[in-house]
Amino acid sequence: MPTSLSHVSTVLVVDAANVVGSNPDGWWKDRAGAARRLHERLLVADLPHDVVVLVLEGQAKGGVPAGRDSHVRTVHAKRSGDDAIVAEIRRAADAGDRVTAVTADRGLRAAAEVAGATVFSPSWLLDQL
CATH code where residue 23 lies: 3.40.50.1010
The overall average pLDDT reported for the chain is 93
Task: Please count the structural domains in the chain.
Answer: 1
Is residue 108 scored above 90 in pLDDT?
A: yes
Rg (CA), the chain: 14
- Rounded (10°) angle between helices 81-94 and 106-115: 20
108 falls within a domain: yes
Per residue in 29-56, pLDDT (tens digit) is 999 999 999 999 999 999 999 999 999 9
Q: How far is CA 51 from CA 22, 25, 105, in A?
A: 23, 27, 22
Is residue 3 scored above 70 in pLDDT?
A: no
Whole domain around residue 93: which residue ranges?
10-128
Neighbours of 95 (CB within 10 A): 11
Q: Cα 112 from chain centroid?
A: 11
- pTM of the complete model: 0.92
28 falls within a domain: yes
71 falls within a domain: yes
3 falls within a domain: no
Q: Which of 34, 42, 121, 29 is nearest to 74 (CA)?
A: 42
The mean per-residue pLDDT over the stretch 1-26 comes to 81
Contacts of 97 (CB under 8 A, 6+ apart): 8, 9, 10, 11, 51
| Contact criterion met (CB below 8 Å) for 126 and 19 | yes
Find the distance separating the first CA and the last CA of the chain, reported in whole Å: 34
Q: Which residue has the higher pLDDT, 120 or 26?
A: 120
Work out the percent of the chain whose per-residue pLDDT is above 70.
95
Contacts of 115 (CB under 8 A, 6+ apart): 86, 89, 90, 93, 99
